[in-house]
Chain A
Amino acid sequence: MAQIPEDLKYTKTHEWARIEGDIATVGITDFAQHELSDVVYVEITALGKTVKQNDPIGFIEAVKATSDIYAPLSGEVIEVNTQIHKAEGEAPAMVNRDPYGQGWLCRIKISHPEEINSLLDHTAYAELVKRSEHH
């Protein structure tokens, strides 16, 4: 079963956001990393840019497929996880090993806090995952 921490907010596109003050730390969910498997490259193309909620902000390359990452909230992308961003070798696989911890992707300075209400809580996201799982 995919882990879905209770203290995070989620998107329908399988990102998570940990909101602390006006900063959102962003990553992809355990369900998403498992679907993608074998992450080999991460790039946050929107680093330093101001983005709107649901804008693409970067991409993840797995062995089998490429997947876009979308902004859970509007704001400025102020930081990336330098341990994995554009890294080679084993480092990007941290997204698989620890998607909610060391596998975080970027931080957004939130410009429209009211959007937080539009994100899914853990129970709503668990429902979404349940519907997406074939087995």
Chain B
Amino acid sequence: MIKQTPFYPRHLSAGGKIIEFAGYHLPVQFKGIIPEHHHVRTKVGVFDVSHMGRIRISGNDALRFINHMTTNDASTLAVYQAQYSVMCYPDGGIVDDLVVYRLPDHYLLVVNGANNEKDTQWLLEHRNGDVRIENITDAVAQLAIQGPKAEPCLQKICSIDLAPVGFYWATEGKIAGIDCLISRTGYTGEDGFELYIPAQSALAVWDALMEAGREFEIEPIGLGARDTLRLEMKYCLYGNDIDQTTNPLEAGLGFVVKLDKPGGFIGSEVLKQVAQEKPARRLVCLEMLEKAIPRPRLPVFADDNQIGITTSGTMSPSLNKGIALAYVQRRFSSSGTELTIEIRNHRARAVVVPPPFYKSGSRKK
């Protein structure tokens, strides 16, 4: 049974091309991936991300539990602060990547939609002490408002001042009179916010947002542009770039892996070993040096030896060239290394570049 988000009627009326994604009917595009991509980079767009999983963790041992389950250090979070993090298996493979919010009396974990059930199960299996785990996905709708005009647009219908809300910080306030959790987060590289809205009020917020955003030319954006936008930033996509066979260190997510945090975490022993020996391969950014569009799961060569495989690939609308993420053997992972990707029986030339591909995003640092 494929589910619908509360915004489904609006996707239909806006002419969205609907596909099944993570168990939901969601729009893959409205006007086209390329125009939608540019719209978010230059103006403001709104994404229905209600398919993401939302899991509420409470109880006296909530922090200890989250710190055991995730690689980042949740003990450093102030109230209303958020952090990107990863959950690992004992062997260091990735269960999921997620965002952890510390709220006044509980924590909120926002996980990939396709992993929602698996993650909830994983958390329940490891529940220990005074910890309550509630999956609140269906009760809450989620929107991402992204682009350089996101703040002035959202501010028009928001009861609190958004300017002081920093990158990866949240606040609670009214949007169009409805109580929401509001965070300055996103998956595009642009400035923007995510809203957590009571599901029954979701359409009222959508309609108010579209009305308020008219002067900024706000438009709904589909999953297609969400993917090209995130890829230009080297934001990992679970199932493509990371999964249970990859570890966060080789994926370049070491910045959210706190190996020395007290008590460790699931997978920390293996990851310490990996860190010591250095990963055998690394996830790198590859920019095409010739006219060719890389796709996922293509072999990567250094001279005549296959030394890696692509995990994501597309035509970058901002750079107007092919870009890919690929795991390559470590000695081929430094910036400037020229490699080839086998595309349609042709070894197309590419070069390792430092992340992100797109460097002019409006995202606050």
Q: Is the CB of B18 within 8 A of A37?
A: no
- The stretch from B29-37, B245-253, B265-273 touching chain A is B29-37
Most chain A Cβ neighbours within 10 Å, of B28, B33, B228? B33
The answer to whether B291 touches A64, judged by C-beta atoms less than 8 angstroms apart, is no
Nearest-Cβ distance from residue B275 to partner chain A, whole angstroms: 36
C-alpha gap A52/B190 in the complex (Å): 49
Assess whether B173 is interfacial by the CB under 8 Å rule.
no
Proximity string of chain A (107-135) to chain B, C-beta cutoff 8 Å, 1 when within and 0 when not: 00000000000000000000000000011
Q: A63 at the A/B interface (Cβ < 8 Å)? A: yes
Q: Give the distance to chain B from A3, nearest Cβ to Cβ, in Å.
A: 16
Query: In the complex the two chains form, what is the Cα distance from A34 to B34 in whole Å?
Result: 14
CB-contacts of B213-240 with A (<8 A): 224, 227-228
Taking CB atoms, residues of chain A closer than 8 Å to B34 are 38, 40, 63
A63 contacts B18, CB within 8 Å?
Answer: no
Q: Per a CB cutoff under 8 Å, which of A64, A66, A88 touches B224?
A: A64
- Tell me the residues in window 61-114 of chain A with beta carbons closer than 8 Å to chain B beta carbons: 61, 63-66, 88, 96
7 A-B contact pairs sorted by A residue (CB < 8 Å): A37-B17, A37-B33, A38-B33, A40-B34, A63-B314, A64-B33, A88-B291
Nearest-Cβ distance from residue A63 to partner chain B, whole angstroms: 5
Interface size class of A (residues with CB under 8 A): 10 to 19
| Selected contact of B18 from candidates A34, A41, A66, A135, CB within 8 Å | A135
A134→B28 CA distance, assembly (Å): 14
- A46 to B217: give the CA distance in the assembly, Å: 44
Q: A63 and B17: CB pair below 8 A? A: no
CA distance A88 to B291 in the complex (A): 9
Check if B293 is an interface residue, CB within 8 A of chain A: yes
Question: Residue of B at shortest CB range from A65?
Answer: B295
**10 further A-B pairs in the complex, CB-CB below 8 A; given A37-B29, A88-B291:** A37-B28, A40-B34, A61-B315, A63-B34, A63-B228, A63-B315, A64-B224, A64-B227, A66-B293, A66-B295
A135 to B26, CA, bound (A): 12
CB-CB under 8 A from A34, the residues of chain B are 17
- Chain A's nearest CB lies how many Å from the CB of B356? 18
Q: Which residue of A has the minimal Cβ distance to B29? A: A37
Say how far A104's CB is from chain B's closest CB, in angstroms.
20
Whether, in the assembled complex, B279 has its beta carbon less than 8 Å from a beta carbon of chain A, the answer is no
Docked-complex contact A61 and B32, CB < 8 angstroms: no
* Given contact pairs A63-B228, A66-B295, A38 touches B32 in the complex (Cβ within 8 A): yes
Cα separation A93 to B32 with both chains bound (whole Å): 11
- Assembled-state Cα–Cα distance A96/B32 (Å): 10
By a CB distance below 8 angstroms, the chain B residues around A37 are 17, 28-29, 32-33, 224
